[in-house]
């Protein structure tokens, strides 16, 4: 049947007409010739429409930290839909929104005590950047407008996030974006860091580039610095030892806000509730999304420090303090799902479990060293990346084929970016399932040699 053949009204698991959906971050023509379709999921596995089992080596899109279709989360969503389907967040509230905000604030380190909800990581980043700019305006320092990101950083797809981001393909189609943005150098150096487990020893000095950027533009024009504690979408680049601590020191020295984009690293991915805790750094703003409710209902947000929030709480009490928000901020279904997910994280000690499994995971992934075309392997927390040699004149083709064949032939879902394979399984993964992922991946790598 061709892609234009009408599908049966009662069969949508394997649609005959695929033309209407323009898939995001997808090679659409290739996909529609050889679809990778998912019909259902449970715990560590996806299932295709024909019932084939596929182990999830990517936690969906870095988000299903508690695994798939957890009964507790499903029940919470169903109950909430029957009780309160929607509540406006502008001038009104509901109990579960305040409850999950309190839970998240308790997990965040230091005085990161106030939560602003949105619906995705991209919205969380743009919210954080707007809060940073507004903060300096409220303080009477409106000249502080410059934002500093980092090369190879990914901060979502909003205009702000793309501007501070540093992945070329995410930027090249969209013009000049925000003005007045600068970028720190990325922290990856294969010669110095190849086959590192955890944070590399080399690279902390790269944080000192912030001193040069501030000297160039002056602190009076600079609002905030945003970095990922682990750069995920670019191919898993852990922060070098001491790097994030040095950024905090420089931001304090010059009066800059420090933003950690924890959309990927939040909720246990690196063995702590937030990566900020792992590194002993308290940023001024933290973004989150993905794992907050294990990917079940769109949700994101930012957490801000006490003093930052207090700065806005001035003037007449009937006046809006921050002119920003979304129709679905703190959506009741998302909040209910998040509360249930947080209960699972706590009761099953999944953050602690991820920390305990980190060396097991690292040893397993690094066992792939020596496989054909493997140039480097990086692991931190329950995340791993394998760099494959590019084919001549076809950058990205080897990893793309690996992703496709892994799903269709070997029963493994994984992420790829360029010629890098990225892995981030649900935190419920067992040692046996880690072995399954690595065994299948070894076969895939040999198959695309």
Average pLDDT over residues 49-64: 98
User: Which residues, 6+ apart, have CB-to-CB distance to 380 below 8 Å?
Assistant: 197, 198, 199, 230, 236, 238, 270, 358
C-beta of residue 17 within 8 angstroms of C-beta of residue 27: no
Mean pLDDT of 139-144: 97
Q: What is the pLDDT of residues 272-327, one digit of tens each?
A: 999 999 999 999 999 999 999 999 999 999 999 999 999 999 999 999 999 999 99
- Assess whether pLDDT exceeds 60 at residue 101: yes
Residue 9 has pLDDT above 80, yes or no: no
Cα torsion angle, 408, 404, 377, 239, sign? negative
- Whether pLDDT at 1 is above 70: no
Q: Using alpha carbons, list the distances in angstroms from residue 183 to 153, 209, 252, 258, 395.
A: 9, 9, 18, 14, 25
Q: What angle do CA 282, 285, 290 make, to 5 degrees?
A: 105
Question: Span 61-88, mean pLDDT?
Answer: 98
Strand (E) or helix (H) holding 375 = strand 374-380
Architecture of the structural domain at 36-66+349-447: Alpha-Beta Complex (3.90)
Q: What is the pLDDT of residue 7?
A: 42
Report how far apart, in Å, the C-alpha atoms of 365 and of each of 3, 136, 218, 441 are.
Answer: 39, 45, 44, 9
Q: Give the domain ranges of the chain.
A: 36-66+349-447, 73-347
Class of the CATH domain delimited by 73-347 = alpha beta
Sheet of 412-413: strand order equals: 40-42, 45-47, 53-56, 412-413
- Determine the pLDDT at residue 181: 97
Residue 3 pLDDT: 46
Mean pLDDT, the chain, integer = 96
pLDDT at 159 over 70: yes
β-strand 300-305 against 112-118: which pairing, if any?
A: antiparallel
Do the domains 36-66+349-447 and 73-347 sit in the same CATH topology, yes or no? no
12 Rama sector, left if φ>0, alpha if ψ -120 to 50, beta otherwise: alpha
Both tokens of residue 236?
Answer: 């898993």
Tell me phi and psi for residue 41, to 5 degrees: -150, 150
């Amino acid at each position: 049947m061709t892609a234009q053949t009408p599908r049966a009204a009662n069969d949508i698991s394997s649609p005959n007409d695929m033309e209407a959906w323009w898939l995001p971050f997808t090679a659409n023509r290739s996909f529609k010739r050889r679809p990778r379709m998912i019909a259902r999921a449970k715990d560590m596995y996806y299932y295709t429409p024909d019932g084939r089992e596929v182990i999830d080596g990517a936690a969906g899109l870095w988000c299903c930290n508690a695994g798939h279709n957890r009964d507790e989360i499903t029940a919470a969503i169903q109950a909430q839909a029957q009780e309160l389907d929607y509540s406006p967040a502008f001038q009104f509230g509901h109990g579960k929104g305040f409850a999950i905000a309190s839970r998240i604030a308790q997990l965040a380190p230091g005085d990161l005590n106030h939560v602003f909800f949105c619906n995705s990581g991209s919205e969380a980043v743009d919210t954080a950047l707007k809060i940073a700019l507004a903060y300096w305006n409220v303080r009477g320092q409106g000249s502080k407008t410059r934002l500093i990101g980092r090369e190879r950083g990914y901060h979502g797809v909003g205009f702000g996030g793309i501007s501070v981001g540093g992945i070329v393909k995410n930027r090249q189609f969209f013009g000049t974006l925000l003005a007045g943005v600068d970028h720190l150098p990325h922290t990856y150096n294969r010669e110095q860091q190849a086959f590192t487990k955890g944070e590399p020893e080399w690279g902390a000095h790269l944080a000192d580039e912030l001193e040069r950027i501030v000297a160039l533009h002056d602190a009076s024009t600079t609002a905030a610095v945003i970095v990922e504690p682990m750069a995920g979408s670019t191919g898993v680049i852990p922060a070098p030892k001491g790097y994030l601590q040095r950024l905090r020191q420089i931001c304090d020295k010059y009066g800059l806000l420090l933003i950690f984009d924890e959309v990927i690293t939040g909720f246990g991915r690196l063995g702590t509730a937030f990566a900020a805790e792992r590194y002993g750094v308290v940023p001024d703003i933290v973004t989150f999304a993905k794992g907050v409710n294990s990917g079940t209902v769109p949700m994101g947000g930012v957490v801000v420090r006490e003093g930052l929030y207090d700065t806005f709480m001035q003037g007449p009490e009937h006046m809006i303090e921050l002119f920003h928000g979304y129709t679905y901020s703190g959506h009741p279904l998302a909040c209910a799902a998040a509360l249930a997910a947080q209960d699972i994280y706590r009761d099953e000690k999944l953050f602690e479990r991820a920390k305990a499994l980190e060396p097991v995971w690292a040893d397993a992934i690094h066992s792939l060293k020596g496989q054909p075309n493997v140039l480097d392997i990086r692991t931190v927390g329950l995340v791993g990346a394998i760099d494959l040699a590019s084919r001549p004149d076809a950058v990205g083709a080897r990893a793309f084929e690996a992703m496709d064949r892994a799903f269709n032939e070997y029963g493994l879902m994984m992420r790829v970016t360029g010629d890098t394979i990225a892995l981030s399984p649900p935190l419920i993964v067992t040692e046996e399932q880690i072995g399954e992922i690595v065994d299948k991946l070894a076969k895939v790598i040999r198959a695309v040699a």
